[in-house]
């Protein structure tokens, strides 16, 4: 049997202030060292050779996205006089790895409209993000906005044709890009130029949802009623459930939309989204915390169930973290099975998340750690919405929801940081020095965003922000003497920290909304 993972025998870190400061120092150094390694091994492409930039998923464009993020997170990975120097270096590293050659919209392929997997669209999206988020705001190029507009028009005109909706290559990935740009665009000039694209978001949402309904009917026709979900989207003739190619990722992105964008004017999309989430949770609970990779479930004695973002429970945990951040959905539809799936799924990710494939995001240790960061935030800062959701559940059903008492903010943060620290033991960041060390596989694209060191570095940078926010909130808690946190939510410094959490690339937005 091929080795998939190592038994997790790691000791959970404690979360005292002193330990958190030590972890912050170690992760900061990891970001800086990883940056030096990536800088050497992913040199600046020749500007006119568009083919060398690749995609966001596993090419130089993904490296550029990581450096764009780190440029804004520089104050979390450095102190004092080092901050402006490091921020400038990150911005220069990003700019030199962006393709500045604008392709024509005719290069877009229907059914392949996610900027994660499309070199043309990925380059345009990154140039727009660089313009609206840089230290000196610039006007996004009209040609890039035109390409984004054309891609969105094409996605809507595609209608309910099956097979082009997942995050990596499909319309959900395009929706993520639109939402990301809108969230990060704060100046009037760029907002005005991009508004015609943003106004298309509700139609894109509706067509993705309608395709999910068609996919569900198609699945029922092919396989009967067993395990059919209310929303299903096929990819390469398989009905995947995970985050990169499947339902969990599509729903995570949909839930990042504004409430009115999840309503087409005649019907709210929230009920069918909630029903689908409930069915995914039931599948996970029935399988002892493992989300099957696809439906119908095919028994295979050769492999244990996947524990990775692209296929498996980590993708469901990302979805459930996003679900907890959507107050409208939680008040109307939350049920205890969602928390049970979080508990069982988290146990599986912790126990079997040290993947032989290494430290990356898509199928690696950092990818398995990131859902814990997202769940930490939702449990730490979402206590009042959760209380209201449980009261609403009692009103709807007459039942008091059982408590998953072990699920606390510290439960998730300790696991996230322990895994992220251990990810330093994987190549290409670390070379195995003795037989006593666990052996991890070198990724196919060792320095890329989703498979390699750049993604791990992005996770380390994000964790630095999370730790700073945690320490600030603790200060506020001590100052308040037990006053409810929600009354202190206007603290400017904590709000700034949370705004600088940028989320899992391609799947979630940053900060708490």
Distance CA 445, CA 199 (A): 37
Task: Please tell me the number of Cα atoms within 13 Å of 493 on its side-chain side.
Answer: 11
CA–chain centroid gap for 96, Å, is: 25
Distance CA 366, CA 296 (A): 29
- Burial level of 302, CB count in 10 A (0-12/13-18/19+)? exposed
Distance CA 341, CA 333 (A): 15
Exposure string of 473-508, with b = 16+ CB inside 10 Å and e = fewer, is beeeeeeeeeeebeeeeebeebeebbbbbbbbbbbb
- Tokens matching residue 233: 């989207």
Question: Which residue blocks in 263-361 are alpha helix, DSSP H?
Answer: 270-286, 313-324, 327-333, 336-352
Q: Measured between alpha carbons, how far apart are the two ends of the chain, in Å?
A: 44
Distance CA 245, CA 227 (A): 18
Point out which residues pair with 239 in neighbouring strands. Answer: 295
Q: Is there a contact between 354 and 438 (Cβ–Cβ < 8 Å)?
A: yes
- Tokens matching residue 186: 């704060």
Q: Is there a contact between 197 and 204 (Cβ–Cβ < 8 Å)?
A: no
Q: Please report the sign of the dihedral spanned by the C-alpha atoms of residue 41, residue 43, residue 46, residue 49.
A: positive
Peptide bond before 296: cis, by omega within 30 degrees of 0?
yes
- Tokens matching residue 147: 């390409």
- Beta carbons within 8 Å of 255's beta carbon, 6+ residues apart: 262, 273, 319, 322, 323, 325, 326, 329
Task: Answer yes or no: is 281 a known binding residue.
Answer: no
Residues annotated as binding site for Zn(2+)?
310, 362-363
Q: Would you list which residues are annotated within the binding site? A: 310, 362-363
């Amino acid at each position: 049997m091929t080795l998939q993972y190592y038994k997790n025998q790691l000791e959970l870190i404690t979360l005292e202030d002193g330990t958190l400061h030590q972890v912050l120092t170690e992760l900061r150094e990891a970001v800086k060292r990883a940056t030096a390694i990536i800088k050497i091994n992913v040199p600046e492409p020749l500007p006119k050779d568009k083919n060398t930039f690749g995609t966001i998923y596993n090419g130089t464009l993904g490296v550029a996205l990581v450096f764009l993020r780190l440029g804004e997170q520089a104050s979390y990975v450095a102190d004092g006089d080092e901050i402006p120097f490091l921020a400038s270096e990150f911005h220069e590293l990003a700019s030199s790895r962006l393709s500045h050659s604008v392709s024509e919209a005719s290069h877009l392929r229907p059914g392949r409209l996610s900027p994660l997997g499309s070199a043309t669209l990925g380059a345009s999206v990154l140039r727009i993000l660089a313009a609206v988020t840089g230290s000196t705001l610039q006007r996004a190029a009209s040609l890039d906005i035109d390409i984004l507009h054309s891609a969105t028009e094409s996605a809507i005109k595609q209608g309910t044709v099956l097979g082009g909706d997942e995050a990596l290559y499909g319309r959900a990935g395009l929706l993520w890009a639109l939402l990301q740009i809108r969230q990060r665009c704060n100046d009037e000039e760029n907002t005005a130029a991009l508004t015609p694209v943003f106004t298309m978001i509700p139609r894109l949402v509706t067509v993705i949802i309608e395709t999910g309904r068609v996919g569900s009917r198609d699945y029922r026709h092919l396989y009967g009623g067993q395990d059919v979900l209310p929303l299903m989207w096929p990819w390469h003739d398989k009905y995947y459930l995970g985050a990169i190619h499947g339902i969990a990722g599509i729903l995570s992105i949909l839930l990042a939309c504004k409430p009115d964008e999840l309503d087409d004017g005649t019907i709210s999309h929230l009920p069918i989204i909630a029903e689908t989430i409930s069915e995914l949770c039931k599948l996970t609970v029935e399988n002892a915390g493992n989300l099957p990779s696809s439906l119908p479930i095919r028994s295979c004695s050769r492999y244990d169930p996947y524990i990775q973002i692209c296929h498996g429970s980590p993708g469901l945990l990302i979805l459930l973290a996003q679900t907890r951040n959507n107050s409208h959905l939680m008040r109307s539809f939350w049920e205890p099975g969602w928390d049970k799936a979080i508990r069982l799924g988290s146990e599986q990710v912790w126990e079997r998340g040290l993947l032989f494939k290494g430290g990356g995001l898509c199928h690696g240790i950092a990818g398995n750690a990131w859902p814990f960061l997202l769940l930490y935030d939702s449990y730490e800062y979402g206590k009042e919405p959760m209380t209201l959701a449980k009261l609403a559940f009692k009103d709807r059903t007459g039942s008091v929801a059982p408590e998953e008492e072990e699920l606390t903010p510290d439960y998730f943060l300790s696991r996230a940081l322990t895994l992220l620290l251990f990810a330093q033991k994987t190549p290409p960041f670390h070379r195995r020095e003795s037989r006593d060390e666990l052996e991890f596989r070198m990724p196919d694209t060792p320095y890329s965003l989703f498979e390699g060191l750049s993604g791990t570095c992005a996770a380390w940078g994000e964790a630095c922000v999370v730790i700073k926010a945690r320490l600030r909130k603790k200060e506020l808690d001590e100052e308040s003497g037990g006053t409810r946190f929600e009354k202190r939510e206007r603290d400017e410094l904590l709000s700034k920290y949370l705004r600088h959490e940028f989320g899992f690339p391609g799947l979630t937005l940053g900060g708490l909304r």
